[in-house]
């Protein structure tokens, strides 16, 4: 990495960072065979708590927050039959902006027979932030996807509401070039339609057109007392959505959904990433 090119300009104090990861199956488990980065994006060494050899990868962003003008790019490539889980050590914080937009672009190519679990911890938008995020997941053939994203608007614990700023969050899931799901959550200033809630969850699972899977998801959603949650099918993609006054109940719900659904979808139990317990 060229340290001069990675450093932020003193006049702008903004980062441009990239991270490219490549996975391949090796001797009964998946190895992280390629990692290239520039700027403040990197990964810890992989962990293997799952019996099926899934490679648990933690994306690190040392600045601990995203500010106006930052540009972050993450790219994943999963070779056929590889298995990877990607998460973060903590919440992603989008800080107050001086007027510039911060952007996060994430793409994943999941080849035939491979499996990606995309489970970043929650994204917290501070009042006055300007956040644009785009995630695109491209599945080939029989590739599988299990992903969840949680967005928290403002900081309820500090009595801070999201009333100024802008966010534009986009998500696309495709199989063999055909669009399976497109989501967009956009607002300038306080968002409408959330019934006064400040936290939003969207969980998506591909290849889930099975009554047992849908019923299991609905049972979990129905048991949640401190959030509004529901599950439905769009084609063979299971969608679970949630609204809550804060992120905590949605985090708990998403992890319960993973424990219940992973054995049904992948035929394997769900080991929680170690970083979630710290």
Q: Give mean pLDDT, residues 183-203.
A: 90
Q: Give mean pLDDT, residues 125-138.
A: 97
Return the pLDDT at 64: 79
Pairing state between β 115-118 and 92-94: unpaired
> Is the pLDDT at 2 greater than 80, yes or no?
no
Higher per-residue confidence, 15 vs 11: 15
The token pair that represents 188 in the structure block: 């300038």
What are the residue ranges spanned by the domains of the chain?
15-196
> Is the pLDDT at 172 greater than 60, yes or no?
yes
Return the pLDDT at 5: 39
Condensed to tens digits (0 to 9), the pLDDT of residues 89-123 reads 999 999 999 999 999 999 999 999 999 999 999 99
The token pair that represents 70 in the structure block: 């930052």
DSSP 56: E
Q: Mark out the alpha helices in 97-233 (DSSP H runs).
A: 211-222
> Is the pLDDT at 8 greater than 50, yes or no?
no
CA distance 164 to 124: 14
Residue 277's CB is within 10 A of a number of other CB atoms, namely: 6
| CA triple 32-93-63, angle to 5 deg | 65
Return the pLDDT at 12: 56
Residue 168's CB is within 10 A of a number of other CB atoms, namely: 16
75 falls in which pLDDT band (50, 70, 90)? Answer: very high
Give the percent of the chain with pLDDT over 90.
Answer: 87
Higher per-residue confidence, 153 vs 3: 153
The token pair that represents 130 in the structure block: 């300007």
**Is 30 exposed, middle or buried (CB count within 10 Å of its CB: 0-12, 13-18, 19+)?**
buried
CA distance 219 to 229: 10
Residue-averaged pLDDT of the chain: 93
Q: Mark out the alpha helices in the chain (DSSP H runs).
A: 3-6, 211-222, 248-266
């Amino acid at each position: 990495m060229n340290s001069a090119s990675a450093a932020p300009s003193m006049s702008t104090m903004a980062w441009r960072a990239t991270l490219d990861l490549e996975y391949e199956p090796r001797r009964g488990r998946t190895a992280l065979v390629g990692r290239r980065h520039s700027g403040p994006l990197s990964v810890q060494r992989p962990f293997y708590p799952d019996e099926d050899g899934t490679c648990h990868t933690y994306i690190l962003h040392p600045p601990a927050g995203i500010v106006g003008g930052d540009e972050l790019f993450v790219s994943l490539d999963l070779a056929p039959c590889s298995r990877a889980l990607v998460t973060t050590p903590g919440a992603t914080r989008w800080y107050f902006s001086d007027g510039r937009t911060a952007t996060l672009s994430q793409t994943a190519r999941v080849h035939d027979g491979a499996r990606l679990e995309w489970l970043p911890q929650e994204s917290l938008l501070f009042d006055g932030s300007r956040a644009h995020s785009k995630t695109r997941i491209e599945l080939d053939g029989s590739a599988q996807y299990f992903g969840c994203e949680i967005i928290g608007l403002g900081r309820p614990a500090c009595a801070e509401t999201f009333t100024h700023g802008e966010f534009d969050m986009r998500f696309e899931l495709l199989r063999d070039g055909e669009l399976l799901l497109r989501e967009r959550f956009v607002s300038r200033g306080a968002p409408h339609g959330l019934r006064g809630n400040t936290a939003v969850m969207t969980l998506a699972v591909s290849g889930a057109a099975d009554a047992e899977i849908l019923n299991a998801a609905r049972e979990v959603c129905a048991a949640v007392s401190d959030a509004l949650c529901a599950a439905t099918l769009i084609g063979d993609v299971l969608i679970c959505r949630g609204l809550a006054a804060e992120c905590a109940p949605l985090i708990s719900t998403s992890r319960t959904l993973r424990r219940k659904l992973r054995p049904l979808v992948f035929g394997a139990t769900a080991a929680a990433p170690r970083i979630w317990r710290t």
